[in-house]
Amino acid sequence: MTATLAARRPAPARPVSVPRAYRFELVKLVAQWRIRLLVLACWIVPALFVAGVSAQSTLPSDTLFGRWMHATGWAGPLVVLGFAGTWALPLLTSLVAGDVFAAEDRLGTWRHLLVAVRSARRIFVAKTLASLTVILLLVAGLAVSGAVGGLLTVGDQPLVGLDGHLLAPSDAALKTLLAWVAVLAPTLALAGIGLLGSVTLGRSPMGLLLPAVVALAMQLAQMLPLPLVVRLALPGYAFIAWNGLFTSPGQVGPLLIGVAVSLAWALTATALAYALFLRRDFTDLGYDGSGRRAVTAGLLPLVGLLAVSAAVIAPVTGGSGSGIEQEKVQRSLATAFAHLYRMQTRQLHRPAVTEARLRATAACDKGSDRIAARGPGNDWRCVVSWHLPGVEATGTAVYQLDVASDGRFVADGDGPKEVNGYFLVRTPEGDAPNPLWQFDGNVELLPTSKG
Amino acid sequence: MDASLAVLARGITKCFGDVVALDGVDLDVTRGRIHGLVGPNGAGKTTLLGLLLGLAAADGGTLEILGVPVGRALSAVEGVAGFVDGPGLYPSLTARQNLAALLSLRGRDATTAGVGEVLAEVGLRDVADDRVRGFSLGMRQRLGLAAALLTRPRLLVLDEPSNGLDPSGKRHVHRVLKRLAADGTGVVLSSHRMDDVEALCSEVTILTTGRVVFSGPIAELSSQKRELEYRLITSDPGAARRLAAGADGVRVVEDGGTRYGDEVLVVRASVPALDRLVSRVVRSDIAIRELAPVVPPLEAAFLALTEQQEQQEQQERTEQLEQLEAGR
């Protein structure tokens, strides 16, 4: 009888499984009008934007690949990617990951949720997975929508890479996909920071805005003349390092470092959020985040991670410089010029010539002999020289370069007019954009690679 | 543990930093009964309910819920449902979606689990597909109760379930709680509304500053021989006043007329003394049109007990202070 009674006794309730809790969290997220609007916007607006911009005469040439939006549909998703890395992805992660825990504080539903799920650990895992699912859905929407808009409007044409060489449509598609996959890493880092802010700062608006604020701070840091090692140690670097995929050979070193750093930040921030979440006292109704805890248990470990990352990366970058040096700029410019010269040659139906026979070289300085020719700036001045088979004279063209700290440069042709001094060239089919008048390039920042 | 008890708590203590929320609390909740938990703000009611729901762990004492000893780690017992600090609903979901989402957490199918039935039981069938964002506080309370009902609880723990309820909503909630108790579920509810407690509960525990000042059948509390103020309206107020003034154990409250008008006589008396006065009034051919306590008995008992406890604590603090000063 005793045994029978004991057998009928209720046991401590088993926690809800993670998949069920995950579905529950996903239902709650997707039921929010804000999230639904974001999903719709991410799957529709990029297509409309790319289609609209590709159809107009003025192109966003200050955005990477923007000048090629008339030429190929693959430029569209890359322009969207550049914009997304700067604004959209930090804001999206803020609105999703930055709010996923704080929403329960705002609604006063923590106790209800704990009674229902019976495990704070599983709640954390479910919320994290649900917010990541929504973020991935949003990122996928941006990528797919941008590509569809470009391909439908302009078509599946070859893409001009950042060293001037032509990427076949299939290659362009693969590189575009890889670029979008690469920015998932810094997006996850921002999501981790969002989770941390949401856990530590509660209903405070700062918790919601933290990913956006961190992203903005990292963008400002990238504009400062910081050593390359510091810039690479920031989790946002992978947002801009994907441009190395569009050179041949690919300049993937900074991208791989950026992705690794971003993933380390994502894991660390998420682990900190997890630890802080489990230590939280859910019976304290007045809990509204803790600024001190956010600093001691959130900010300081991440600053430590930045320092460790910089220490690990320093031997790879080989010093404290910007990574932008005279010889690398000259090599990148000459390579891009040679590729684009061939393109211009084809446009004008001139006799074919190879890059090897052109033997293009560049001589660059920074405005004055008294200034060391290194580092970013818009005062780079270069003279490109090349040889044509059968022609004794050496061809020369002048370029003004604006080199950004991430190695991307815009070369602006200063003449002669028939080579790079005018934005149009007269082809047998009519006037066409002159590929040598203004073009984008990329300086390899790491010393181990060749441009 | 007595098999008839849904909750057996002995010497429960719970502190938040330096604040003692519960100080040696004993609590017995019988299965099939509705047990009221009352006390002033900050008395520890919500903390105690949180312990029953597994939201917090006690620092000391022993707690058994539905026969299961509850340890120091956070854990809930199967068969316990309810809410504290509001029902915890998601405004972007409809009433039905809120319940269906909860069911999906437990791996149950919303179409067969009786969502419609519980919504009807709490009077929300007509708004089942409306978003909770537009619900009043009372509707949310009822939906929270519906969510708890879905789990078929053997112990239901509710924090202020009557908050914001209109008379119709209150009737729904009372009916549901009485039905649950009749089916053998133990119900613990906290309330500031003494009329609710009186109407629903068969047992009551009064807490003040984390201590139990009374626990037992509600009839025992309200029948304690303490004097209460009663409002008396008769056909001859002057004669009734004279009779009251001369009655043993009855004191006429002089400012009663100021408070309620000259027609109203306010007297302070114990129940036996009041009975004697009523007999005399009736024998004198004076009709009694209304007789009611100025403050309901349970509320009066509650006020008396809590004020007594507060005075006692104040006295203890004063004595401690005096001892400290004397020691200097």
A101 lies in a domain?
A: yes
- The answer to the question of residue A3 being in a domain is no
* A271 inside domain: yes
Q: Which domains does chain B have, with CATH numbers?
A: 5-222 (3.40.50.300), 228-293 (3.30.70)
Which of chain B's residues have a Cβ under 8 Å away from the Cβ of A13?
Answer: 54, 75-80
Examine the domain organization and report whether A191 and A234 are in the same domain: yes
Shared-domain flag, residues A257 and A282: yes
Q: What average pLDDT score do residues B272-277 get? A: 91
Range of the domain at A374: 326-442
Domain boundary among the residues A317, A335, A354 is at A317
Evaluate whether A94 touches A209 at the Cβ level (below 8 Å). Answer: yes
A343 lies in the same domain as A262: no
* A429 and A330 within one domain: yes
H-state helical runs in A318-359: 326-347, 355-358
Partners of B217 in the beta sheet?
B203
Q: Which of A14, A32, A112 sits opposite B83 (nearest CB)?
A: A112
pLDDT tens across B38-51, in order? 988 888 999 999 89
- For the segment A4-24, the average pLDDT, to the nearest whole number, is 71
pTM value is: 0.80
Query: Both A312 and A356 in a single domain?
Result: no
Interchain CB distance below 8 Å, A20 and B84: no
Give phi and psi for B94, each to the nearest 5: -75, 170
Instruction: State whether B82 and A23 contact (CB < 8 Å).
Output: no
Q: Based on the fold, state whether residues A240 and A144 are members of the same structural domain.
A: yes
User: Between residues 15 and 44 of chain A, which touch chain B (CB distance below 8 Å)?
Assistant: 16-17, 20-21, 23-24, 27-28, 31-33
Question: pLDDT band at A366, cuts 50/70/90?
Answer: confident
Q: Give the residue carrying structure tokens 């990427």.
A: A167
CB nearest to B76's CB, from A28, A118, A283: A118
8 Å CB contact of A11 and B78: yes
B67: nearest CB among A10, A108, A110: A10
Mean pLDDT taken over chain A? 87
- Pull the structure tokens for residue A404: 């950004």
Q: What is the phi/psi pair of residue B233, to 5°?
A: -115, 125
Cβ contacts of B102 on chain A, cutoff 8 Å: 116
Residues A302 and A339 occupy one common structural domain: no
Q: How many CB pairs under 8 A join A and B?
A: 105
A10, A17, A117 ranked by CB distance to B78: nearest = A10
* Last-in-domain residue among A271, A293, A317: A317
- The Cα of A313 is separated from the nearest Cα of chain B by a number of Å equal to 44
| Minimal Cβ distance to B106: which of A16, A31, A283 | A16
Q: Is residue A181 part of a domain?
A: yes
* The pLDDT value given to residue B223: 61
Q: Is the pLDDT of residue A70 over 60?
A: yes
Position A226 confidence tier, pLDDT thresholds 50, 70, 90? confident
Do the chains contact at A31 and B83, CB–CB below 8 Å?
no
Choose the final residue of a domain: A274, A289, A317: A317
Residues on chain B touching A107 (C-beta within 8 angstroms): 88-91
Same structural domain, A288 and A371: no
pLDDT band per the 50, 70, 90 thresholds, residue B77? confident
Q: Do A371 and A411 belong to one domain?
A: yes
Residue showing tokens 């004669």: B239
Interchain contact, A111 vs B68, CB within 8 Å: no
What is the tally of structural domains in chain A? 2
- Report DSSP letters for A112-178, one per residue: HHHHHH--HHHHHHHHHHHHHHHHHHHHHHHHHHHHHHHHHHT-S--EE-TTSPEEPHHHHHHHHHH
- What pLDDT is attached to residue A42? 96
A336 domain residue, yes or no? yes
Q: Are residues A222 and A331 in the same domain?
A: no
Query: B75 at the A interface (CB within 8 A)?
Result: yes
Looking at residue A8, its pLDDT comes to 47
Regarding whether A365 and A222 lie in a shared domain, the answer is no
**Cα–Cα distance for residue pair B56/B48, rounded to 1 Å:** 9
pLDDT of residue B222: 66
Task: Kindly indicate whether the ipTM for this predicted assembly is greater than 0.90, answering yes or no.
Answer: no
Angle at CA of residue A437, ends A431 and A443, nearest 5°: 140
Q: Round the average pLDDT of chain B to a whole number and report it.
A: 86
Same domain, A424 and A282: no
Give B144 to chain A, closest Cα distance, Å: 9
Residue A24 with chain B: CB contacts under 8 Å: 101, 104-105
| pLDDT, tens digit, 9 for 90 and up, residues B254-266 | 766 666 677 889 9
Q: Is the pLDDT at A11 greater than 60, yes or no?
A: no
- Better-scored residue on pLDDT, B113 or B197: B197
